[in-house]
Homo-oligomer: A and B are copies of this chain.
């Protein structure tokens, strides 16, 4: 027997409709790429998104077509998302920080037909466009007055192009499982893989995010999404803010400490979200200027593990609550958030920070487990670590064109590629990437934990740990170290520093000193390159069968 409740599909366009009707005058304030601060409202943004959808249709865009954006967070980029999904097309965010060849490969894989881009990226687009045969028009997110000369054959200023539509358009109504967005994982190994969000997953993800223990945005909040829309579905904030009726403050191209501080203050921002690097820059800026953060009540920090000092400074020095979070492009992206449960409310000082260094527990809508290599579930004891697998309505079940099938279990779990432990209260902490964990005698050693400890040595600028083949233990850790300028370090120095901080069998078998550690375009350590570099390296213990 079926229920008798309304068939009301979960469509992204319902979000901007809600905001425009119930919170019509709530502002979207942006630092424009051209320079000045720009102000608009949900009512106006919806009208322009309607024009955009209408205009895209006239451009020949049809249901399921991929429309790319390579743009900063501004009101125009926000309008693009809604206009694209409103035309039943698919927004495909491109990360301009990838190598040009990677971007071209991704655009060809997705067969993007139109590209919206900012002035900033025009030279990059000029280089890429000839390599992408599917690409037609390039629409530059500016007005005619700011339109530069360009070698692109089919190009137009956004404001001119949009002005040709009157907005007399009705959103395309589609099944809620229809594709709405695409984002490729940058991936430290292999080719990028496309994640395809549906209308349903985006709406449910926002509802998941709206729970008070997750992001929990209210209509009274003014939210600064520093995390770019092109990073992991923009953490869903282009959908969650309209759902909440929150004001939005868009940082444009400027994410340095002074610029972020300026937007936080002049627009009285109450909630913000970004990766740790951005917050480190802000905190450094504040320490220099001595400024405070009177309006900011909460920051959501994810993308990589948040340093303890960032949490501590925000809370102790500025009275700002930190929500440490974990997620991936494949999880829309919210996977877990470290809010404080009732049992932990009395924690303070170091004990509180110990908890907040964890990436937190999954909200309703995300299921988690940790497993060993045989896919057996491991206990939630806060110590045992295993492969982190997740399940939920806003989590990928496959990559575009069937790539990476090995990450998806037959029973519907997605293997995150992360290694984590979970405590009895459900608080999860990432300890490593699966491909970087060192498998020594059937037990796992976390490369990240060793790296984090090693960089605590006053003479170490950067550290990386990789597993090298070992005749007896299968793999053993090699610690690769970049000494700080002018410092002379020896193996015994560094290993001595680790002693007592780790169990004995975690101790690296050797230390290699290098001038530089290879990085990806997004700043992560390229362990594949490092493993290649040390492929023929022989550990001192490797010939010693008692090692």
Contacts and interface: CB of A to CB of B under 8 A. Distances in A.
Nearest to A3: B198
B245 A213 contact: yes
A424 B20 CA distance: 12
A6 B391 contact: yes
Given A1-B90, A341-B23, A364-B15, A397 B6 contact: yes
A212 B201 contact: no
Interface string A45-69: 0000000000000000001100000
Given A64-B1, A210-B211, A220-B345, A393 B8 contact: yes
Given A1-B63, A23-B341, A207-B210, 9 more contacts: A3-B178, A5-B332, A6-B393, A21-B426, A207-B207, A207-B211, A210-B212, A216-B216, A244-B364
Contacts of A63: 1
A115 B244 CA distance: 41
B364 A6 contact: no
A268 to B, nearest CB: 10
A492 to B, nearest CB: 45
A339 interface: yes
Contacts of A342: 26, 219-220, 222, 247
Contacts of A243: 211, 364
5 contacts: A2-B178, A4-B198, A8-B393, A207-B208, A212-B212
Contact-size category for A = 35 or more
Interface in A396-432: 396-400, 412, 414, 424, 426
Contacts of A345: 220
A139 B393 CA distance: 37
A127 to B, nearest CB: 29
Interface of A is mostly: loop
A392 interface: yes
Contacts of A4: 179, 195-196, 198, 396-400
Interface in A330-357: 332, 339-343, 345
A364 B207 CA distance: 9
Nearest to A400: B4
A22 interface: yes
B339 A219 contact: yes
Most buried by B among A21, A64, A362: A21
A470 interface: no
Contact of A3 (B22, B196, B218, B220): B196
